[in-house]
Amino acid sequence: MHIGTTLSQFIIEETRLYPGASGDFAALLNDLTISCKFIGAQVYRGALVGALGSAGTDNVQGEVQKKLDIISNEAILKSMDWTGHLAGMASEEMDDPYAIPQNVPRGKYLLLFDPLDGSSNTDVGISVGTIFSILKAPVAGRDAELADFLQPGVEQVCAGYALYGSSNMLVYSTGYGVNGFTLDPSIGEYMLTHSQMRIPEDTSEYAINMSNHRHWQKPVQRYIDELNQGTDGPRQRNFNMRWVGSMVADVHRILCRGGIFLYPFDQRDPKKPGKLRLLYEANPMSYLVEQAGGVASTGTTRILDIDPQGLHERVPVILGAKNEVERVVAYHRDSF
């Protein structure tokens, strides 16, 4: 009986259609989905298996780790380190790149990931997710070096996320549009449910943490103030604010129905110009947004053009509907 297009079928058919795709790459993606299914199961079971709450440790950024952060990180490492497809891995939760075990062949790809984005929300049942980015190793067949991971986002060969919310969804792109798959628990397969996702160029929804208003630069304050003025202001129409506090959930909403997401430059600490990590969050999400017809910028620079200076570099992020992001960029240009 025909049950629709599975993720496995879609990946294999995609490798046949596009030049440069390989069986190794298809197998890599399939292996990665195993860990996403496992992590989703742990999130949904939560307190039933004692997976909620703090682990009592901090990650490399000094943030308190949740138990599910550690469980998710370990799940991806152990699902992927034996496959022979990778030359190395880097995680938001780890100081340094993860070395592939000595007895495993070195592959031609690098995997970078945020194992559980929005994990501070797990205790209150809000959507969280896994974000991933795949790069080609500069030299295949040897251990990856730190510098190998420091590639601009435009060099990504694949990016995506798994969303653990009302359902377990996997959304990804290999540079030929964005497609979404929903896990069917009855057969244990991700099924194609959102084909060629697109972001409308205009929107009336925006996502931002308004409590930080006083810390933003003038261009962002100007933009948000205009939106809040609605029909009484220069935009002459009303806008609605949506803020989940989990990037993967906010970006998923934008991919499904449009909008603009802003986590702008924050003037409180000049050493941390942004909160979101370039390699683990900003690059993969910007790749998806651009593939869906949107724009992603720091306010002054296209995110995918940034040359990373370190594994845990942070950047401001403004992404989503083309016309709205370009308006924010224009305000920055006028201001500076």
Question: Residues within the annotated binding site for Mg(2+)?
Answer: 92, 114, 116-117, 281
Residue ranges for the known binding site are 92, 114, 116-120, 209, 275, 281
Residue ranges for the known binding site for substrate are 117-120, 209, 275
User: Cβ of 205: how many Cβ atoms within 10 Å?
Assistant: 19
Contact between 173 and 179 (Cβ < 8 Å): yes
Query: Which backbone phi and psi does 216 adopt, to 5 degrees?
Result: -80, 160
What distance in Å separates the CA atoms of residue 183 and residue 171, rounded to the nearest whole number? 11
Query: Which backbone phi and psi does 126 adopt, to 5 degrees?
Result: -90, 150
Residue with tokens 């959930």: 249
What distance in Å separates the CA atoms of residue 234 and residue 222, rounded to the nearest whole number? 11
Residue with tokens 């004692």: 50
